[in-house]
């Protein structure tokens, strides 16, 4: 998402929120039974709850016990996640670059525990002449890749085969069909 659309989205969202609050205050001011009294009582209840927690006398052994339990939980979860990660298969160890469309592509493999499989990480196009990571040069009207060394410019990166998802799909297909 471009910076312009992020700012427009932020302005629109914050403007809507502010306008909603202002209209609620005006409505409450005009009516006898304010709507915001419910919201006000919710905030007061939350504040009272936080105040009661902060006002409680703490014993040092409580704090130490909580810290020790947290540390034990972190260590156990770290060891568990280490034990679940399989080692990278040999066919993936060697398959970290390939040639698609106008560029050489390089990537790394990363274990995704949620999907329970190896996924592509840090996919990036490299110049065929210099073997240097290409830079994305984009404007409102077009996008292109440019080599910082030889200044070769590759126009029209929006073709089907030049997008990252398409390249990932081809890489996964090559792995699946053993065409590496």
**Which one of 83, 113, 142 terminates a domain?**
83
Statement to judge: residues 74 and 45 lie in one domain: yes
Into how many domains does the chain fold?
A: 2
Reported confidence tier of residue 20, pLDDT bands at 50, 70, 90:
confident
Mark out the alpha helices in the chain (DSSP H runs): 3-30, 36-55, 60-84, 90-94, 164-176
**Which one of 31, 54, 83 terminates a domain?**
83
pTM: 0.49
Reported confidence tier of residue 180, pLDDT bands at 50, 70, 90:
low
Residue 121 and residue 113 in contact, taking contact as beta carbons nearer than 8 Å: no
Statement to judge: residues 46 and 79 lie in one domain: yes
Residue 157 and residue 145 in contact, taking contact as beta carbons nearer than 8 Å: yes
Domain containing 164 equals 90-176
- 82: tokens are 């280490």
**Which one of 83, 115, 148 terminates a domain?**
83
Per-residue model confidence (pLDDT) at position 161 = 41
Give residue-wise pLDDT tens across range 91-137: 888 898 888 766 788 999 988 877 778 899 888 888 888 888 888 77
Read off φ and ψ for residue 123, nearest 5 degrees: -75, 130
Alpha-carbon distance of 156 to 145, in angstroms, equals 8
């Amino acid at each position: 998402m471009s910076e312009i659309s992020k700012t427009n989205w932020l302005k629109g969202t914050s403007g809507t929120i502010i306008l909603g609050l202002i209209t609620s205050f005006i409505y409450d001011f005009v009516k006898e039974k304010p709507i915001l009294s419910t919201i006000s009582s919710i905030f007061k209840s939350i504040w009272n709850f936080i105040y009661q927690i902060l006002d409680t006398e703490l014993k040092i052994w409580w704090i130490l016990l909580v810290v020790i339990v947290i540390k034990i939980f972190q260590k156990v979860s770290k060891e568990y996640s280490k034990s679940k990660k399989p080692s990278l298969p040999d066919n993936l160890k060697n398959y970290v670059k390939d040639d698609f469309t106008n560029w050489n592509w390089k990537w790394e493999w990363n274990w995704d525990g949620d999907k329970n499989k190896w996924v592509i990480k840090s996919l990036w196009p490299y110049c065929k002449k210099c073997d240097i990571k290409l830079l994305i040069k984009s404007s409102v009207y077009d996008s292109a890749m440019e080599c910082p060394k030889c200044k070769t410019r590759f126009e029209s990166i929006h073709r089907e085969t030049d997008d990252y998802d398409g390249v990932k799909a081809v890489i996964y297909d090559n792995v699946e069909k053993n065409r590496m």
